Amino acid sequence: MSKYQDLKNTLSYIHSELNRVETMAGTLSSIERDHYNRLANFDHREILDIAVEEQIAARQLGTMKHMCLAMAEKIEEIKNAIDRGELVEGTHRDEAH
């Protein structure tokens, strides 16, 4: 197996795991948002504080979801560059110097 095929397999694995993390973050974000909505209906200061924490967690998980998506897209670009031979050519040039 060539080192580029090994790299592509590694990138495929990372891409797959990022998709799993993205899905989990999205699911947890939805749950946290639902908790916020349910807790925000209570007229109790401590429960409202917990609701705000749930809202913050939902936002952070949403951000994590978008970060995973962006990283997965970058990995796909790298895999496509390998398929087009762009990384191979660059490596040979670097080795010549």
Cα–Cα distances in angstroms (integers) from residue 71 to residues 75, 85, 94, in the given order: 6, 21, 26
Give the confidence band of 4 by pLDDT, cuts at 50, 70, 90. Answer: confident
At residue 24, the pLDDT reads 96
Tens-digit pLDDT profile for residues 17-47: 999 999 999 999 999 999 999 999 999 999 9
pTM of the model: 0.77
- Amino acid identity of residue 41, one-letter, is N
Domain ranges of the chain: 1-83
